[in-house]
Structure 1
């Protein structure tokens, strides 16, 4: 049975950073956003986190061989068809209330479980990390009989998330030809509510869920990693966190299949609290996001009063 640590939350909440640091721990292997593997890697042959094309990455070619006897044997069209049928935000109420899984849900989950098991075997890892983030996918994976699923719910102040979604960010894996998706603050606020609430529903269905706030993770990453490793069932030993400095981390080459451009970072990675939104996000937009996200802001311990955000 594959042990999977699934990082969930809305994009731009810090999941890539959490994944990269967790991936430095012994016994853990970071796979990136597997939800995008089928199109961006298997079909489009984009670059792996190690820098080479997916088809040239020895790690992923070994995974494909073990999981499917080669990636050519994966019916990507079928994966897309199943995703549309079962793994969309609109399907979460049905997934969360179901007492049995449909054949399509189990078929879709099986594509992932085969990747997880093969990756763990190739990497010699006890736990694989999937930073797909999608709450609907997490709800699907709870029905996979051969996956030991544990979820880390990463939350960030929605005003910081909203500001990040407004920025233009090139996708290095396409050599700058494409940009990452952008959302208006209002749109990102609605998505922040929907995705984060969905992880609350997942916890009520018996899936182990550990919520962390991105801001607190950055304030003390060493303590946070110890807690997350314990949650994942991975014992740490003296020296396992030596890659962490007082304000940086030293990262090795990874094999993230898809995700934030940070997945390509090797070597020194500064660890600093990104609060540019406090100054750069217009007051009217901060108020809008705060109003839309008010109930969950309060539940997660974030200030609702805009005035209290002044620095």
Structure 2
């Protein structure tokens, strides 16, 4: 059985940073946002975090050979069709219910098996005890629990909704496409509604028997050593070395994250400091709208609302 630490939450909440930090722990292999690997990497041949095209990356070549006898044997369009059929936020009530039909369950199990085979191969190639998948999508986490060969443990990453909303308004290029494309942007009100939906889904996932541990972005930046040691224990790793953290910086090595935030390409000393630009850069009216829309969960997660 392969142990997977799944990082969940709404994008721009710090999951890529957390993945990079976890990837420096002994026995851990970060895979990036595997949910996008099928289309962006296998079909689109975008860049791995190591800098090479996916098709030229030795790590992913070895994973594809071991998992499927080569990536050319993967029916990408079948995987994407399954994703469309079962892995949508609107389907989470069905995925959490015991009333799922036999036909629906077969589709979910087929979809989850594609991931199980990839995870098993990645664990064998890397020799890691724990794989980190930062796909974030709540519906995917619900699907993965149907794979008997996956020991799924979920880290629910939460960030102040105002900070998330501001981050989604910024223009961010995608370097894996040589700057030809930008990451998706949302209005503050739209991101607030998504923040509610994604975080609510992860807040109730443990009722389905999946171990879930919540981590706040702000706490990760304030107490990185303690947070990582705590997560290592949650992942079933022994007492671990965090000497790559030093005086407010993290020394990051190269990795093979398949997709995700541009931060996955950074190597070397990375400052660990909170991005609180939203406090002055997000217009007051928009900040109040986001605060009002997300007030119940903001309070539940220990954040102060707008005065």
Q: Same fold (TM over 0.5)?
A: yes
What CA distance in whole angstroms lies between the structure 2 residues aligned with 1:60 and 1:168? 29
Q: What SS does the aligned partner of 1:65 have?
A: helix
Q: What SS does the aligned partner of 2:260 have?
A: coil
1:213 is the counterpart of 2:183: no
TM-score (norm 1): 0.97
Unaligned runs of 5+ in 2: none
What CA distance in whole angstroms lies between the structure 2 residues aligned with 1:7 and 1:254? 17
For residue 289 of structure 2, what is the aligned residue in structure 1?
Answer: 288
1:155 is the counterpart of 2:155: no
Deviation at 1:35, TM superposition (A): 0.1
TM-score (norm 2): 0.98
What's the Cα RMSD here? 0.8
What CA distance in whole angstroms lies between the structure 2 residues aligned with 1:116 and 1:99? 28
What CA distance in whole angstroms lies between the structure 1 residues aligned with 2:99 and 2:45? 38
For residue 276 of structure 1, what is the aligned residue in structure 2?
Answer: 277
CA contact (8 A) 1:8 1:153 kept: yes
For residue 196 of structure 2, what is the aligned residue in structure 1?
Answer: 193
What CA distance in whole angstroms lies between the structure 2 residues aligned with 1:163 and 1:10? 13
Runs of at least 4 residues off by over 2 Å: 98-101
Q: What SS does the aligned partner of 2:246 have?
A: coil
CA contact (8 A) 1:68 1:74 kept: yes
Give the paired residue count: 304
Q: What SS does the aligned partner of 2:21 have?
A: helix
Deviations 1:164-191 (A, max 9, x none): 0000000000111000000000000000
Deviation at 1:99, TM superposition (A): 5.4
For residue 177 of structure 2, what is the aligned residue in structure 1?
Answer: 174
CA contact (8 A) 1:96 1:201 kept: no
What CA distance in whole angstroms lies between the structure 2 residues aligned with 1:204 and 1:175? 42
For residue 70 of structure 1, what is the aligned residue in structure 2?
Answer: 70
What CA distance in whole angstroms lies between the structure 2 residues aligned with 1:154 and 1:91? 21
For residue 235 of structure 1, what is the aligned residue in structure 2?
Answer: 238
For residue 268 of structure 2, what is the aligned residue in structure 1?
Answer: 267
Unaligned runs of 5+ in 1: none
Deviation at 1:247, TM superposition (A): 1.0
What CA distance in whole angstroms lies between the structure 1 residues aligned with 2:64 and 2:279? 44
